[in-house]
Structure 1
């Protein structure tokens, strides 16, 4: 009887211990669940160095939300989003070209949303619909990065216009981004077509192509290559040129007198997001003065008035140099333009 009683007592103690363990596990699970963060999948074409400041500032203000980035060039992000149209993954698109976001909107993929504080932003830098489908962050424009040391070695004159770049003296001396993969390359091509007219625009690119050594897959890389002297001239944008100048690279930034193609980095919410409230909080943050102050570290024109700072190498009349840009036209004609461009010049694209 003692043996049986001892067994029963041990079993009782074991059952109580198991119940305690189960209760503790349930409690721990409840705590973990309570502290689980909402994850936002954010597709972006931001430059690498810009991603961390936005993420850190947003997550500090919203500790219950975590940004998970998927980063690539503008063309690659745009293509990925279109390919996923029937099975979308992204919650938010941030730092993508306005021309690409306009294309997504034409496909019915973006949620109309006016973020908190939207009325404080410069209205022309966001989608014209009410409420907007995308909200601008900053303007980036075409810039020619010119390595004065390498140019002197090769006896190359300093260009002042787009037309100058077609001169035979620059044969093999120029590198520029491919419009297929790069938003900067696409704004170059569409601005030439809009500024010069369709026929003259393609004729201009025919002549320019004779002097282009290679079309690369990044908008910033041509300026980087000019900075290192691998090529004396890179068609790029002001962000990278300003940054390289600050690092001591022997480059001048040239803003061609015919005018500059440009686009907007912007934010849009995917209509299919499963986290709409968290996505709206991110859109609210990107429209805030705080986020625009982060943006102003690199860009001469930002959406929040009075926040932009004078950046070295960027002319005071920079906004006046931007050509008229029809985002809807660029979006609607994207496939046709890229198809023509690839037939004409795709043999020089970086492999």
Structure 2
């Protein structure tokens, strides 16, 4: 073979190049497969990492679960849960229900392993106390500026997205509406006046929710003291002397009136009465002319929350048009001033409140006032 033949040299060059290209193709295929495998594994890893998260319209990552602790009414709990999940598809709201005391006890028990993301209480004073007792996150919800001024706190940590008030509840089968609704708070120390409200001659059975079990009643008594000072205790002693009994928690106290075993309930929660009145139960309510306490129900985000972005969305939702309508449907007072209460009840601006309410003092002294009051009734 004449290696110096130019034509032969071209053949050698072509064969060498073809061999190199084949080797390069094989190597490229190997590298390509390796890159594809790495990309697939990376995608799987990303899917695992984001399996507990959703993407909001704004691009913010929202966790797929949020744990919300809230008080009754149960119907409102269910409605808010469904409404939130419809507003934020793919996010599961897990609701834990209980009284304010039960929920706070649960938070304390879970201190080393926090579960709660959003906490809602039925007592504004307990919300104020939570500012120092719990680790809360500062957050201003969308539409938070539309809440009634007393339902907002300068800390931007607690927000009254709904409210209730206390009044006098009575059994309509046994008590005369035109007589009972003349009575102011001080009149419940006068046995003759109270007995005179009955449709049949006799002695009226009258009770009050246990303020150590009812946050609304506790705040009512603290508000009464805040407004009237030491003279409040003169009224309290007069109530006890006139036969006022401890009715237990809100539910049994209401049930006793509806069954007829109790004629009149002083300082009963209003939304329960309005709800049962609409069910044609023998119950009605009025607010004495001396005023009462409107109690905002504070919502807050735990700083220990493991689902903080979802928790923020819960706060936004609670202040939304839809959620506020659900609050009104449950016969509670909407937190927002631009949302009307149910037409069957008085709205926030229509309820006269005690003068000189100092919520910081009420929060600081409410528990002691409640205990001393219960001792009066023993």
TM class by shorter chain equals: 0.7 to 0.9
Aligned equivalents of 2:180, 2:322: Cα separation in 1:
43
* Correspondence for 1:13: none
Q: Indicate which of 360, 369, 372 corresponds to 1:337.
A: 369
* Correspondence for 2:59: none
1:74–1:96 Cα contact (<8 Å) kept = yes
Residues 318/83 of structure 1: CA separation in 2 closer, same or farther (3 Å cut): farther
Residues 71/63 of structure 1: CA separation in 2 closer, same or farther (3 Å cut): same
1:300–1:314 Cα contact (<8 Å) kept = no
* Correspondence for 1:125: 151
Q: Which secondary structure state, in structure 1, belongs to the residue aligned with residue 107 of structure 2?
A: helix
* Correspondence for 2:265: 234
* Correspondence for 2:240: 209
* Correspondence for 2:122: 96
Deviation at 1:82, TM superposition (A): 4.6
1:165 is the counterpart of 2:197 = no
Q: Indicate which of 333, 347, 351 corresponds to 1:319.
A: 351
Aligned equivalents of 2:118, 2:77: Cα separation in 1:
14
Deviation at 1:259, TM superposition (A): 0.6
| TM-score computed with the length of structure 1 as normaliser | 0.79
1:48 is the counterpart of 2:74 = yes
- Which one is further off, 175-184 or 82-91? 82-91
Aligned equivalents of 1:53, 1:317: Cα separation in 2:
26
* Correspondence for 1:3: none
The number of aligned residues is 315
Root mean square deviation, CA, Å: 3.0
Unaligned stretches of 5+ residues in structure 2 = 1-39, 54-62, 195-202
| TM-score computed with the length of structure 2 as normaliser | 0.74
Alignment of 1:264-275 (within 5 A): 264-275=296-307
1:176–1:212 Cα contact (<8 Å) kept = yes
Alignment of 1:79-118 (within 5 A): 79-82=105-108, 84-85=110-111, 88-118=114-144
Aligned equivalents of 1:35, 1:81: Cα separation in 2:
23
Residues 300/31 of structure 1: CA separation in 2 closer, same or farther (3 Å cut): closer
* Correspondence for 1:69: 95
* Correspondence for 1:253: 285
Unaligned stretches of 5+ residues in structure 1 = 1-22
Residues 123/240 of structure 1: CA separation in 2 closer, same or farther (3 Å cut): same
CA deviations 1:204-247 (Å, max 9, x no partner) are: 222222422333122x5433432232211123122112112211
Aligned equivalents of 1:323, 1:71: Cα separation in 2:
33
